[in-house]
Structure 1
Amino acid sequence: MDGLEENRKAGISSEEEGSELSDGELQEAFAKGLLKPGLNVPQQEAKTTVNNTEGLKQCLVDFRRNLPWVERLDLSNRPAADIVAKAEGKVTAEDSDAINAEDDFQREMYFYRQAQAAVLEALPRLHKLKIATKRPEDYFAEMAKTDQQMQKIRKKLIMKQTAMEKSEKAKRLREQRKYGKKIQTEVLQKRQKEKKAMISAVKKYQKGMTDKLDFLDGDQGKSKKGAGVPKAAMNKKGPNAKRKYKDQKFGFGGKKRGSKWNTKESHNDMSGFRANVAHGKGGKKFGKGGKQKSNKRPGKDARRKMKNRSR
Protein backbone atom coordinates (compact mmCIF):
# COMPACT_ATOMS: atom_id res chain seq x y z
CA MET A 1 0.00 0.00 0.00
CA ASP A 2 2.97 2.30 0.55
CA GLY A 3 3.74 2.18 -3.23
CA LEU A 4 0.12 2.93 -4.11
CA GLU A 5 0.09 5.91 -1.76
CA GLU A 6 3.25 7.24 -3.31
CA ASN A 7 1.81 6.84 -6.81
CA ARG A 8 -1.36 8.58 -5.75
CA LYS A 9 0.61 11.45 -4.27
CA ALA A 10 2.65 11.70 -7.48
CA GLY A 11 -0.55 11.58 -9.55
CA ILE A 12 0.45 8.41 -11.42
CA SER A 13 -1.78 5.31 -11.56
CA SER A 14 -0.57 1.73 -11.55
CA GLU A 15 -2.11 0.92 -14.95
CA GLU A 16 -2.05 4.20 -16.95
CA GLU A 17 -0.60 7.58 -16.25
CA GLY A 18 -3.71 9.35 -17.55
CA SER A 19 -6.37 7.48 -15.43
CA GLU A 20 -8.49 9.49 -12.97
CA LEU A 21 -8.52 7.01 -10.04
CA SER A 22 -5.81 4.68 -8.85
CA ASP A 23 -6.35 1.07 -7.81
CA GLY A 24 -6.23 1.96 -4.12
CA GLU A 25 -8.94 4.58 -4.49
CA LEU A 26 -11.12 2.15 -6.44
CA GLN A 27 -10.70 -0.49 -3.72
CA GLU A 28 -11.66 1.98 -0.99
CA ALA A 29 -14.75 3.10 -2.98
CA PHE A 30 -15.75 -0.55 -3.55
CA ALA A 31 -15.36 -1.32 0.22
CA LYS A 32 -17.60 1.64 1.09
CA GLY A 33 -20.24 0.49 -1.43
CA LEU A 34 -19.96 3.51 -3.63
CA LEU A 35 -19.42 1.50 -6.83
CA LYS A 36 -22.53 0.09 -8.51
CA PRO A 37 -22.67 -2.74 -11.03
CA GLY A 38 -22.67 -1.74 -14.74
CA LEU A 39 -20.86 0.97 -16.67
CA ASN A 40 -19.73 3.74 -14.38
CA VAL A 41 -19.93 7.04 -16.31
CA PRO A 42 -19.29 10.34 -14.56
CA GLN A 43 -22.32 12.61 -14.76
CA GLN A 44 -21.76 16.16 -15.97
CA GLU A 45 -23.94 19.03 -14.99
CA ALA A 46 -26.12 20.50 -17.78
CA LYS A 47 -24.92 23.79 -19.21
CA THR A 48 -27.11 26.73 -18.50
CA THR A 49 -27.75 29.10 -21.43
CA VAL A 50 -28.41 32.74 -20.84
CA ASN A 51 -30.12 34.92 -23.47
CA ASN A 52 -28.46 38.19 -22.60
CA THR A 53 -30.11 40.49 -25.14
CA GLU A 54 -28.83 43.68 -23.60
CA GLY A 55 -25.28 42.40 -23.60
CA LEU A 56 -25.49 41.42 -27.27
CA LYS A 57 -26.82 44.87 -28.18
CA GLN A 58 -24.01 46.49 -26.25
CA CYS A 59 -21.47 44.34 -28.13
CA LEU A 60 -23.07 45.37 -31.44
CA VAL A 61 -22.78 49.03 -30.46
CA ASP A 62 -19.13 48.51 -29.59
CA PHE A 63 -18.43 46.82 -32.94
CA ARG A 64 -20.30 49.36 -35.05
CA ARG A 65 -18.28 52.19 -36.56
CA ASN A 66 -19.75 55.15 -38.33
CA LEU A 67 -17.57 54.86 -41.43
CA PRO A 68 -18.38 56.52 -44.77
CA TRP A 69 -19.85 54.44 -47.57
CA VAL A 70 -16.66 54.57 -49.62
CA GLU A 71 -14.91 52.65 -46.84
CA ARG A 72 -17.69 50.04 -46.61
CA LEU A 73 -18.97 49.70 -50.22
CA ASP A 74 -22.02 47.79 -49.02
CA LEU A 75 -25.18 47.63 -51.15
CA SER A 76 -28.55 46.02 -50.51
CA ASN A 77 -30.77 45.97 -53.56
CA ARG A 78 -33.14 43.85 -55.55
CA PRO A 79 -32.20 42.25 -58.89
CA ALA A 80 -32.19 44.38 -62.04
CA ALA A 81 -35.20 44.26 -64.32
CA ASP A 82 -35.14 42.14 -67.46
CA ILE A 83 -35.63 44.67 -70.28
CA VAL A 84 -36.21 42.04 -72.97
CA ALA A 85 -38.87 40.25 -70.92
CA LYS A 86 -40.60 43.56 -70.19
CA ALA A 87 -40.62 44.50 -73.87
CA GLU A 88 -42.23 41.16 -74.70
CA GLY A 89 -44.74 41.53 -71.86
CA LYS A 90 -43.48 38.52 -69.90
CA VAL A 91 -43.26 38.25 -66.12
CA THR A 92 -39.97 36.80 -64.90
CA ALA A 93 -39.47 34.73 -61.76
CA GLU A 94 -37.34 37.52 -60.23
CA ASP A 95 -40.17 40.04 -60.49
CA SER A 96 -42.80 37.71 -59.05
CA ASP A 97 -40.50 36.42 -56.26
CA ALA A 98 -41.35 32.85 -57.30
CA ILE A 99 -37.77 31.61 -57.53
CA ASN A 100 -37.21 27.94 -56.92
CA ALA A 101 -34.06 27.57 -54.83
CA GLU A 102 -33.54 24.05 -56.18
CA ASP A 103 -33.50 25.31 -59.79
CA ASP A 104 -29.85 26.07 -60.56
CA PHE A 105 -30.63 28.25 -63.57
CA GLN A 106 -33.15 30.48 -61.76
CA ARG A 107 -30.87 30.81 -58.74
CA GLU A 108 -27.82 31.79 -60.79
CA MET A 109 -29.86 34.24 -62.88
CA TYR A 110 -31.12 35.85 -59.66
CA PHE A 111 -27.52 36.32 -58.45
CA TYR A 112 -26.54 37.70 -61.85
CA ARG A 113 -29.40 40.24 -61.90
CA GLN A 114 -28.64 41.28 -58.33
CA ALA A 115 -24.96 41.85 -59.14
CA GLN A 116 -26.00 43.81 -62.24
CA ALA A 117 -28.24 46.05 -60.14
CA ALA A 118 -25.42 46.59 -57.63
CA VAL A 119 -23.08 47.71 -60.42
CA LEU A 120 -25.68 50.08 -61.87
CA GLU A 121 -26.15 51.67 -58.44
CA ALA A 122 -22.51 51.77 -57.36
CA LEU A 123 -20.95 53.27 -60.52
CA PRO A 124 -22.76 56.64 -60.35
CA ARG A 125 -21.94 56.95 -56.65
CA LEU A 126 -18.26 56.23 -57.28
CA HIS A 127 -18.16 58.73 -60.15
CA LYS A 128 -19.80 61.32 -57.89
CA LEU A 129 -17.04 60.75 -55.32
CA LYS A 130 -14.44 61.09 -58.14
CA ILE A 131 -13.18 57.54 -57.73
CA ALA A 132 -11.80 55.93 -60.89
CA THR A 133 -13.57 52.74 -61.92
CA LYS A 134 -11.29 51.79 -64.85
CA ARG A 135 -7.77 50.49 -64.60
CA PRO A 136 -5.20 52.89 -66.12
CA GLU A 137 -3.01 51.73 -68.98
CA ASP A 138 0.20 51.92 -66.92
CA TYR A 139 -1.31 49.95 -64.02
CA PHE A 140 0.98 47.20 -62.76
CA ALA A 141 -0.44 44.31 -60.77
CA GLU A 142 1.51 41.40 -59.42
CA MET A 143 0.15 38.13 -60.77
CA ALA A 144 -0.97 35.43 -58.38
CA LYS A 145 1.08 32.89 -60.35
CA THR A 146 4.69 33.24 -61.45
CA ASP A 147 5.78 33.57 -65.06
CA GLN A 148 7.30 30.08 -64.98
CA GLN A 149 3.98 28.59 -63.94
CA MET A 150 2.17 30.51 -66.67
CA GLN A 151 4.73 29.31 -69.24
CA LYS A 152 4.07 25.71 -68.18
CA ILE A 153 0.32 26.27 -68.51
CA ARG A 154 0.80 27.88 -71.93
CA LYS A 155 2.94 24.96 -73.14
CA LYS A 156 0.37 22.50 -71.87
CA LEU A 157 -2.43 24.34 -73.67
CA ILE A 158 -0.40 24.46 -76.90
CA MET A 159 0.34 20.72 -76.66
CA LYS A 160 -3.36 20.03 -76.06
CA GLN A 161 -4.35 22.18 -79.06
CA THR A 162 -1.74 20.47 -81.26
CA ALA A 163 -2.99 17.04 -80.21
CA MET A 164 -6.56 18.06 -81.04
CA GLU A 165 -5.50 19.36 -84.48
CA LYS A 166 -3.62 16.12 -85.19
CA SER A 167 -6.66 14.13 -84.12
CA GLU A 168 -8.93 16.17 -86.41
CA LYS A 169 -6.48 15.78 -89.31
CA ALA A 170 -6.29 12.01 -88.78
CA LYS A 171 -10.08 11.87 -88.64
CA ARG A 172 -10.37 13.76 -91.95
CA LEU A 173 -7.79 11.46 -93.56
CA ARG A 174 -9.72 8.40 -92.38
CA GLU A 175 -12.91 9.82 -93.84
CA GLN A 176 -11.15 10.58 -97.14
CA ARG A 177 -9.76 7.05 -97.26
CA LYS A 178 -13.21 5.62 -96.62
CA TYR A 179 -14.71 7.82 -99.34
CA GLY A 180 -11.92 6.93 -101.80
CA LYS A 181 -12.33 3.24 -101.04
CA LYS A 182 -16.07 3.56 -101.58
CA ILE A 183 -15.57 5.27 -104.95
CA GLN A 184 -13.01 2.65 -105.98
CA THR A 185 -15.41 -0.15 -105.04
CA GLU A 186 -18.19 1.47 -107.06
CA VAL A 187 -15.90 1.86 -110.10
CA LEU A 188 -14.80 -1.80 -109.88
CA GLN A 189 -18.39 -2.95 -109.58
CA LYS A 190 -19.34 -0.84 -112.59
CA ARG A 191 -16.47 -2.31 -114.64
CA GLN A 192 -17.41 -5.85 -113.67
CA LYS A 193 -21.02 -5.13 -114.62
CA GLU A 194 -19.98 -3.72 -118.01
CA LYS A 195 -17.63 -6.65 -118.58
CA LYS A 196 -20.39 -9.10 -117.77
CA ALA A 197 -22.77 -7.30 -120.15
CA MET A 198 -20.07 -7.31 -122.89
CA ILE A 199 -19.46 -11.07 -122.49
CA SER A 200 -23.20 -11.71 -122.60
CA ALA A 201 -23.58 -9.61 -125.79
CA VAL A 202 -20.62 -11.39 -127.46
CA LYS A 203 -22.09 -14.79 -126.64
CA LYS A 204 -25.45 -13.76 -128.10
CA TYR A 205 -23.71 -12.52 -131.28
CA GLN A 206 -21.71 -15.75 -131.59
CA LYS A 207 -24.84 -17.84 -131.22
CA GLY A 208 -26.61 -15.78 -133.88
CA MET A 209 -29.23 -14.45 -131.46
CA THR A 210 -28.49 -10.87 -132.59
CA ASP A 211 -26.67 -9.15 -135.43
CA LYS A 212 -25.95 -5.82 -133.68
CA LEU A 213 -22.39 -4.80 -132.85
CA ASP A 214 -23.20 -1.81 -130.67
CA PHE A 215 -21.36 -3.35 -127.71
CA LEU A 216 -18.03 -2.85 -129.54
CA ASP A 217 -18.36 0.96 -129.43
CA GLY A 218 -18.52 1.11 -125.64
CA ASP A 219 -19.48 4.23 -123.72
CA GLN A 220 -17.61 6.54 -126.09
CA GLY A 221 -19.47 5.25 -129.13
CA LYS A 222 -22.77 5.54 -127.31
CA SER A 223 -22.10 9.12 -126.27
CA LYS A 224 -20.63 10.45 -129.53
CA LYS A 225 -21.96 8.36 -132.41
CA GLY A 226 -25.37 7.73 -130.98
CA ALA A 227 -26.09 11.38 -130.11
CA GLY A 228 -29.03 12.51 -132.19
CA VAL A 229 -28.67 9.69 -134.81
CA PRO A 230 -31.08 6.73 -134.87
CA LYS A 231 -29.57 3.25 -134.71
CA ALA A 232 -31.13 2.19 -138.04
CA ALA A 233 -29.36 5.04 -139.85
CA MET A 234 -26.06 4.18 -138.13
CA ASN A 235 -26.33 0.52 -139.22
CA LYS A 236 -27.17 1.44 -142.85
CA LYS A 237 -24.31 3.92 -143.12
CA GLY A 238 -21.20 2.23 -144.54
CA PRO A 239 -17.52 2.81 -143.71
CA ASN A 240 -15.85 6.06 -144.65
CA ALA A 241 -13.34 6.55 -147.50
CA LYS A 242 -10.29 6.01 -145.32
CA ARG A 243 -11.64 2.75 -144.02
CA LYS A 244 -12.45 1.60 -147.58
CA TYR A 245 -8.94 2.42 -148.80
CA LYS A 246 -7.30 0.51 -145.97
CA ASP A 247 -9.61 -2.45 -146.50
CA GLN A 248 -8.74 -2.44 -150.19
CA LYS A 249 -5.02 -2.14 -149.50
CA PHE A 250 -4.59 -4.54 -146.61
CA GLY A 251 -7.66 -6.74 -146.95
CA PHE A 252 -9.66 -8.34 -144.20
CA GLY A 253 -7.11 -10.77 -142.87
CA GLY A 254 -5.83 -13.95 -144.42
CA LYS A 255 -2.48 -14.37 -146.14
CA LYS A 256 -0.34 -11.22 -146.14
CA ARG A 257 2.95 -12.55 -147.47
CA GLY A 258 3.41 -12.02 -151.22
CA SER A 259 0.25 -9.94 -151.53
CA LYS A 260 2.15 -7.17 -153.34
CA TRP A 261 3.99 -9.42 -155.77
CA ASN A 262 3.40 -8.95 -159.50
CA THR A 263 1.31 -11.49 -161.29
CA LYS A 264 0.84 -12.21 -164.98
CA GLU A 265 -2.32 -10.13 -165.07
CA SER A 266 -0.78 -7.18 -163.21
CA HIS A 267 2.30 -7.31 -165.45
CA ASN A 268 0.23 -7.18 -168.63
CA ASP A 269 -2.08 -4.47 -167.24
CA MET A 270 -0.94 -1.13 -168.81
CA SER A 271 -3.96 0.93 -167.81
CA GLY A 272 -2.04 2.90 -165.22
CA PHE A 273 1.00 3.63 -167.41
CA ARG A 274 1.70 7.33 -168.14
CA ALA A 275 4.40 8.12 -170.73
CA ASN A 276 4.93 11.74 -169.69
CA VAL A 277 5.85 10.76 -166.19
CA ALA A 278 7.86 7.72 -167.26
CA HIS A 279 10.12 9.68 -169.72
CA GLY A 280 10.57 12.74 -167.49
CA LYS A 281 8.52 15.06 -169.66
CA GLY A 282 6.02 15.87 -166.96
CA GLY A 283 5.45 15.58 -163.30
CA LYS A 284 8.31 16.39 -160.94
CA LYS A 285 11.28 18.40 -162.28
CA PHE A 286 14.80 17.41 -161.35
CA GLY A 287 18.03 19.39 -161.63
CA LYS A 288 21.62 18.28 -161.96
CA GLY A 289 22.46 14.94 -160.42
CA GLY A 290 18.84 13.85 -160.53
CA LYS A 291 17.95 15.87 -157.46
CA GLN A 292 14.63 17.57 -157.22
CA LYS A 293 14.72 21.34 -157.57
CA SER A 294 13.57 23.40 -154.61
CA ASN A 295 12.84 27.04 -153.95
CA LYS A 296 15.68 27.27 -151.46
CA ARG A 297 17.05 30.75 -150.78
CA PRO A 298 20.55 31.33 -152.32
CA GLY A 299 23.51 31.79 -150.04
CA LYS A 300 24.99 35.03 -148.82
CA ASP A 301 27.82 35.14 -151.41
CA ALA A 302 25.43 34.35 -154.24
CA ARG A 303 23.11 37.13 -153.16
CA ARG A 304 26.03 39.58 -152.96
CA LYS A 305 27.17 38.66 -156.49
CA MET A 306 23.64 39.07 -157.79
CA LYS A 307 23.45 42.48 -156.15
CA ASN A 308 26.75 43.58 -157.73
CA ARG A 309 25.59 42.45 -161.17
CA SER A 310 22.45 44.52 -160.86
CA ARG A 311 24.57 47.59 -160.26
Structure 2
Amino acid sequence: MVEIGEDFQLGFESEEEDDELSDSELQEAFGKGLLKPGMNVPQDKPKKAINNVEGLKKSFTELKKNLAWVERLDLTNYPAVDVAAKAENGPEQNEGNEEINVDDDFQREMYFYRQAQATVLEALPKLHKFKIFTKRPEDYFAEMAKSDQQMQKIRKNLLIKQTSMEKSERAKKLREQRKFGKKVQTEVLQKRQKEKKAMMTAVKKYQKGMTDKLDFLEGDKDKGKKGASATKSHANKKGPNAKRQFKDKKFGFGGKKKGSKWNTKDSHDDMSGFRGKVAHGKGGKKFGKGGKSNKRPGKEARRKAKARK
Protein backbone atom coordinates (compact mmCIF):
# COMPACT_ATOMS: atom_id res chain seq x y z
CA MET A 1 0.00 0.00 0.00
CA VAL A 2 1.04 3.59 -0.50
CA GLU A 3 2.52 5.21 2.63
CA ILE A 4 1.23 8.64 3.68
CA GLY A 5 3.01 11.10 5.94
CA GLU A 6 1.87 11.46 9.60
CA ASP A 7 0.85 15.11 9.32
CA PHE A 8 -1.24 14.50 6.22
CA GLN A 9 -2.74 11.36 7.69
CA LEU A 10 -3.79 13.13 10.93
CA GLY A 11 -5.30 15.99 9.00
CA PHE A 12 -7.10 13.59 6.71
CA GLU A 13 -8.57 11.60 9.59
CA SER A 14 -9.79 14.77 11.35
CA GLU A 15 -12.00 15.62 8.37
CA GLU A 16 -15.25 13.91 7.65
CA GLU A 17 -15.17 10.95 5.30
CA ASP A 18 -17.68 12.48 2.90
CA ASP A 19 -15.69 15.68 2.42
CA GLU A 20 -13.28 15.85 -0.48
CA LEU A 21 -9.96 17.67 -0.50
CA SER A 22 -9.81 20.92 -2.39
CA ASP A 23 -7.43 21.50 -5.26
CA SER A 24 -5.25 23.86 -3.18
CA GLU A 25 -4.85 21.27 -0.43
CA LEU A 26 -3.95 18.58 -2.97
CA GLN A 27 -1.38 20.88 -4.60
CA GLU A 28 0.11 21.71 -1.17
CA ALA A 29 0.34 18.01 -0.24
CA PHE A 30 1.93 17.22 -3.61
CA GLY A 31 4.48 20.02 -3.07
CA LYS A 32 5.46 18.59 0.36
CA GLY A 33 5.86 15.13 -1.19
CA LEU A 34 3.02 13.61 0.75
CA LEU A 35 1.34 12.26 -2.45
CA LYS A 36 3.00 9.31 -4.17
CA PRO A 37 2.24 7.45 -7.45
CA GLY A 38 -0.23 4.58 -7.23
CA MET A 39 -2.06 6.00 -4.29
CA ASN A 40 -5.48 6.00 -5.92
CA VAL A 41 -5.26 2.64 -7.76
CA PRO A 42 -8.15 0.40 -6.61
CA GLN A 43 -7.31 -3.18 -5.65
CA ASP A 44 -9.83 -5.93 -6.36
CA LYS A 45 -10.18 -8.76 -3.94
CA PRO A 46 -9.08 -12.15 -5.31
CA LYS A 47 -11.88 -14.41 -6.37
CA LYS A 48 -12.44 -17.37 -4.12
CA ALA A 49 -12.69 -20.68 -5.99
CA ILE A 50 -15.47 -22.85 -4.71
CA ASN A 51 -15.23 -26.60 -5.37
CA ASN A 52 -18.72 -27.77 -4.44
CA VAL A 53 -18.29 -31.49 -4.89
CA GLU A 54 -21.60 -32.37 -3.27
CA GLY A 55 -23.51 -29.94 -5.47
CA LEU A 56 -21.88 -31.31 -8.62
CA LYS A 57 -22.72 -34.88 -7.64
CA LYS A 58 -26.28 -33.89 -6.91
CA SER A 59 -26.62 -32.16 -10.32
CA PHE A 60 -25.08 -35.18 -12.04
CA THR A 61 -27.59 -37.48 -10.33
CA GLU A 62 -30.48 -35.29 -11.47
CA LEU A 63 -29.26 -35.18 -15.08
CA LYS A 64 -28.37 -38.84 -15.33
CA LYS A 65 -30.92 -41.11 -16.98
CA ASN A 66 -31.05 -44.87 -16.81
CA LEU A 67 -30.73 -45.66 -20.52
CA ALA A 68 -29.28 -48.68 -22.23
CA TRP A 69 -25.66 -48.53 -23.32
CA VAL A 70 -26.72 -48.69 -26.97
CA GLU A 71 -28.52 -45.38 -26.49
CA ARG A 72 -25.65 -43.79 -24.56
CA LEU A 73 -22.51 -45.25 -26.22
CA ASP A 74 -20.32 -43.92 -23.41
CA LEU A 75 -17.03 -45.51 -22.38
CA THR A 76 -14.52 -44.63 -19.71
CA ASN A 77 -11.14 -46.29 -20.12
CA TYR A 78 -7.42 -45.76 -19.96
CA PRO A 79 -5.33 -45.13 -23.11
CA ALA A 80 -3.98 -48.03 -25.12
CA VAL A 81 -0.54 -49.38 -24.37
CA ASP A 82 2.27 -47.39 -26.00
CA VAL A 83 4.13 -50.13 -27.86
CA ALA A 84 7.20 -48.00 -28.54
CA ALA A 85 7.54 -46.88 -24.91
CA LYS A 86 6.94 -50.44 -23.71
CA ALA A 87 9.70 -51.74 -25.94
CA GLU A 88 12.10 -49.12 -24.59
CA ASN A 89 11.21 -49.19 -20.88
CA GLY A 90 10.22 -52.85 -20.58
CA PRO A 91 7.00 -54.50 -19.31
CA GLU A 92 6.99 -52.58 -16.07
CA GLN A 93 4.70 -49.89 -17.46
CA ASN A 94 1.12 -50.24 -16.23
CA GLU A 95 -2.07 -48.75 -17.64
CA GLY A 96 -3.01 -45.44 -16.08
CA ASN A 97 0.21 -45.07 -14.09
CA GLU A 98 2.21 -43.10 -16.65
CA GLU A 99 2.92 -39.48 -15.99
CA ILE A 100 1.92 -36.93 -18.63
CA ASN A 101 3.46 -33.51 -18.95
CA VAL A 102 0.48 -31.26 -19.73
CA ASP A 103 2.76 -28.57 -21.14
CA ASP A 104 4.11 -30.96 -23.80
CA ASP A 105 1.67 -30.65 -26.71
CA PHE A 106 2.94 -33.72 -28.56
CA GLN A 107 2.77 -35.97 -25.49
CA ARG A 108 -0.70 -34.69 -24.59
CA GLU A 109 -2.08 -35.25 -28.08
CA MET A 110 -0.58 -38.73 -28.22
CA TYR A 111 -2.31 -39.51 -24.92
CA PHE A 112 -5.67 -38.47 -26.39
CA TYR A 113 -4.97 -40.53 -29.53
CA ARG A 114 -4.18 -43.67 -27.51
CA GLN A 115 -7.25 -43.18 -25.35
CA ALA A 116 -9.44 -42.95 -28.49
CA GLN A 117 -7.73 -46.05 -29.84
CA ALA A 118 -8.49 -48.00 -26.67
CA THR A 119 -12.12 -46.81 -26.81
CA VAL A 120 -12.50 -48.11 -30.37
CA LEU A 121 -11.00 -51.48 -29.45
CA GLU A 122 -13.45 -51.82 -26.59
CA ALA A 123 -16.53 -50.43 -28.39
CA LEU A 124 -16.37 -52.54 -31.57
CA PRO A 125 -16.90 -55.94 -29.87
CA LYS A 126 -19.82 -54.48 -27.91
CA LEU A 127 -21.44 -53.11 -31.07
CA HIS A 128 -21.01 -56.46 -32.82
CA LYS A 129 -22.56 -58.16 -29.78
CA PHE A 130 -25.68 -55.97 -30.13
CA LYS A 131 -25.69 -56.63 -33.91
CA ILE A 132 -25.01 -52.99 -34.80
CA PHE A 133 -23.25 -52.53 -38.13
CA THR A 134 -19.96 -50.64 -37.98
CA LYS A 135 -19.23 -50.54 -41.72
CA ARG A 136 -21.10 -48.75 -44.45
CA PRO A 137 -22.82 -51.09 -46.97
CA GLU A 138 -21.86 -50.90 -50.65
CA ASP A 139 -25.32 -49.67 -51.71
CA TYR A 140 -25.46 -46.99 -49.01
CA PHE A 141 -26.84 -43.63 -49.99
CA ALA A 142 -26.53 -40.81 -47.52
CA GLU A 143 -29.59 -38.68 -46.96
CA MET A 144 -29.10 -35.13 -48.12
CA ALA A 145 -29.27 -32.40 -45.52
CA LYS A 146 -31.10 -30.16 -47.97
CA SER A 147 -34.43 -30.85 -49.62
CA ASP A 148 -34.91 -31.64 -53.30
CA GLN A 149 -36.48 -28.23 -53.93
CA GLN A 150 -33.45 -26.47 -52.51
CA MET A 151 -31.12 -28.62 -54.61
CA GLN A 152 -33.20 -27.84 -57.71
CA LYS A 153 -32.83 -24.12 -56.99
CA ILE A 154 -29.07 -24.55 -56.60
CA ARG A 155 -28.89 -26.54 -59.84
CA LYS A 156 -30.93 -23.85 -61.64
CA ASN A 157 -28.64 -21.10 -60.37
CA LEU A 158 -25.57 -23.09 -61.45
CA LEU A 159 -27.03 -23.60 -64.93
CA ILE A 160 -27.83 -19.89 -65.24
CA LYS A 161 -24.31 -19.00 -64.16
CA GLN A 162 -22.81 -21.51 -66.59
CA THR A 163 -24.99 -20.20 -69.45
CA SER A 164 -23.97 -16.60 -68.72
CA MET A 165 -20.31 -17.61 -68.70
CA GLU A 166 -20.71 -19.40 -72.05
CA LYS A 167 -22.43 -16.34 -73.53
CA SER A 168 -19.64 -14.14 -72.26
CA GLU A 169 -17.03 -16.44 -73.82
CA ARG A 170 -18.90 -16.48 -77.16
CA ALA A 171 -19.19 -12.69 -77.14
CA LYS A 172 -15.49 -12.41 -76.39
CA LYS A 173 -14.63 -14.74 -79.28
CA LEU A 174 -16.93 -12.80 -81.62
CA ARG A 175 -15.25 -9.54 -80.65
CA GLU A 176 -11.85 -11.06 -81.36
CA GLN A 177 -13.08 -12.42 -84.71
CA ARG A 178 -14.51 -9.03 -85.62
CA LYS A 179 -11.24 -7.34 -84.78
CA PHE A 180 -9.34 -9.91 -86.85
CA GLY A 181 -11.83 -9.66 -89.74
CA LYS A 182 -11.65 -5.87 -89.68
CA LYS A 183 -7.87 -6.07 -89.75
CA VAL A 184 -7.93 -8.48 -92.71
CA GLN A 185 -10.49 -6.30 -94.50
CA THR A 186 -8.31 -3.23 -93.99
CA GLU A 187 -5.30 -5.09 -95.35
CA VAL A 188 -7.31 -6.22 -98.40
CA LEU A 189 -8.54 -2.67 -99.08
CA GLN A 190 -5.01 -1.29 -98.74
CA LYS A 191 -3.75 -3.97 -101.12
CA ARG A 192 -6.47 -3.13 -103.66
CA GLN A 193 -5.69 0.58 -103.45
CA LYS A 194 -2.02 -0.15 -103.92
CA GLU A 195 -2.73 -2.34 -106.96
CA LYS A 196 -5.07 0.30 -108.38
CA LYS A 197 -2.45 3.00 -107.92
CA ALA A 198 0.18 0.82 -109.59
CA MET A 199 -2.19 0.13 -112.53
CA MET A 200 -2.96 3.83 -113.00
CA THR A 201 0.75 4.59 -112.99
CA ALA A 202 1.36 1.88 -115.59
CA VAL A 203 -1.50 3.20 -117.76
CA LYS A 204 -0.08 6.74 -117.65
CA LYS A 205 3.36 5.43 -118.57
CA TYR A 206 1.85 3.50 -121.49
CA GLN A 207 -0.12 6.55 -122.69
CA LYS A 208 3.01 8.67 -122.61
CA GLY A 209 4.95 6.05 -124.55
CA MET A 210 7.38 5.41 -121.70
CA THR A 211 6.64 1.67 -121.87
CA ASP A 212 5.02 -0.76 -124.27
CA LYS A 213 4.11 -3.50 -121.77
CA LEU A 214 0.46 -4.33 -121.23
CA ASP A 215 0.92 -6.69 -118.32
CA PHE A 216 -1.14 -4.49 -116.00
CA LEU A 217 -4.29 -5.28 -118.04
CA GLU A 218 -4.12 -8.94 -117.16
CA GLY A 219 -4.11 -8.36 -113.40
CA ASP A 220 -3.28 -11.29 -111.17
CA LYS A 221 -4.57 -13.99 -113.52
CA ASP A 222 -1.21 -15.02 -114.82
CA LYS A 223 0.67 -14.58 -111.55
CA GLY A 224 2.40 -17.76 -110.68
CA LYS A 225 2.26 -19.12 -114.27
CA LYS A 226 5.85 -19.45 -115.26
CA GLY A 227 5.09 -20.39 -118.86
CA ALA A 228 3.02 -17.31 -119.62
CA SER A 229 5.46 -14.95 -117.98
CA ALA A 230 8.37 -16.55 -119.78
CA THR A 231 6.53 -16.19 -123.13
CA LYS A 232 5.81 -12.50 -122.49
CA SER A 233 9.33 -11.75 -121.49
CA HIS A 234 10.57 -13.57 -124.58
CA ALA A 235 8.16 -11.56 -126.80
CA ASN A 236 9.28 -8.31 -125.24
CA LYS A 237 12.89 -9.14 -126.02
CA LYS A 238 12.09 -9.36 -129.78
CA GLY A 239 11.10 -5.71 -129.93
CA PRO A 240 8.09 -3.41 -129.83
CA ASN A 241 4.77 -4.45 -131.32
CA ALA A 242 3.32 -3.18 -134.61
CA LYS A 243 1.42 -0.31 -133.04
CA ARG A 244 4.51 0.95 -131.28
CA GLN A 245 6.55 0.64 -134.47
CA PHE A 246 3.96 2.64 -136.46
CA LYS A 247 3.92 5.41 -133.88
CA ASP A 248 7.68 5.51 -133.79
CA LYS A 249 7.76 5.75 -137.58
CA LYS A 250 5.14 8.50 -137.64
CA PHE A 251 6.19 10.60 -134.65
CA GLY A 252 9.78 9.61 -134.16
CA PHE A 253 11.45 8.81 -130.86
CA GLY A 254 11.07 12.11 -129.13
CA GLY A 255 13.21 15.21 -129.31
CA LYS A 256 12.35 18.49 -131.03
CA LYS A 257 8.96 18.52 -132.76
CA LYS A 258 8.42 22.18 -133.57
CA GLY A 259 9.80 23.14 -137.01
CA SER A 260 10.80 19.57 -137.85
CA LYS A 261 9.12 19.86 -141.32
CA TRP A 262 10.64 23.18 -142.30
CA ASN A 263 12.82 23.39 -145.43
CA THR A 264 16.48 23.74 -145.08
CA LYS A 265 19.13 24.82 -147.64
CA ASP A 266 19.81 21.21 -148.57
CA SER A 267 16.15 20.25 -148.91
CA HIS A 268 15.52 23.39 -150.96
CA ASP A 269 18.34 22.62 -153.39
CA ASP A 270 17.36 18.93 -153.69
CA MET A 271 15.16 18.64 -156.85
CA SER A 272 15.33 14.88 -157.19
CA GLY A 273 11.73 14.33 -156.22
CA PHE A 274 10.24 17.20 -158.17
CA ARG A 275 7.73 16.36 -160.99
CA GLY A 276 6.71 19.26 -163.18
CA LYS A 277 3.65 17.67 -164.81
CA VAL A 278 2.13 16.87 -161.51
CA ALA A 279 2.93 20.32 -160.17
CA HIS A 280 1.30 22.12 -163.17
CA GLY A 281 -1.71 19.82 -163.62
CA LYS A 282 -0.46 18.20 -166.84
CA GLY A 283 0.43 14.91 -165.36
CA GLY A 284 -2.00 11.99 -165.45
CA LYS A 285 -5.67 11.61 -166.22
CA LYS A 286 -6.65 11.94 -162.62
CA PHE A 287 -4.90 15.22 -161.82
CA GLY A 288 -4.57 16.91 -165.34
CA LYS A 289 -7.07 19.53 -166.47
CA GLY A 290 -7.30 18.21 -170.03
CA GLY A 291 -7.57 14.56 -169.20
CA LYS A 292 -10.72 12.63 -168.89
CA SER A 293 -12.36 12.47 -165.59
CA ASN A 294 -14.39 9.61 -164.21
CA LYS A 295 -16.72 12.02 -162.51
CA ARG A 296 -20.46 11.36 -163.21
CA PRO A 297 -22.15 14.12 -165.32
CA GLY A 298 -24.83 16.22 -163.83
CA LYS A 299 -28.58 15.63 -164.10
CA GLU A 300 -29.23 18.26 -166.81
CA ALA A 301 -26.35 16.93 -168.93
CA ARG A 302 -27.68 13.43 -168.68
CA ARG A 303 -31.22 14.63 -169.68
CA LYS A 304 -29.88 16.41 -172.82
CA ALA A 305 -27.82 13.40 -173.76
CA LYS A 306 -30.89 11.23 -173.44
CA ALA A 307 -32.96 13.66 -175.60
CA ARG A 308 -30.41 13.48 -178.41
CA LYS A 309 -30.87 9.78 -178.71
Q: Does TM, scored on the shorter chain, surpass 0.5?
A: no
TM-score interval (norm. to shorter):
0.3 to 0.5
More contact order relative to length (CA 8 Å, sep ≥ 6): 2
Q: TM-score, normalised by structure 1?
A: 0.37
* TM-score relative to the length of structure 2: 0.38
Query: Which protein is bigger by CA-based radius of gyration?
Result: 2
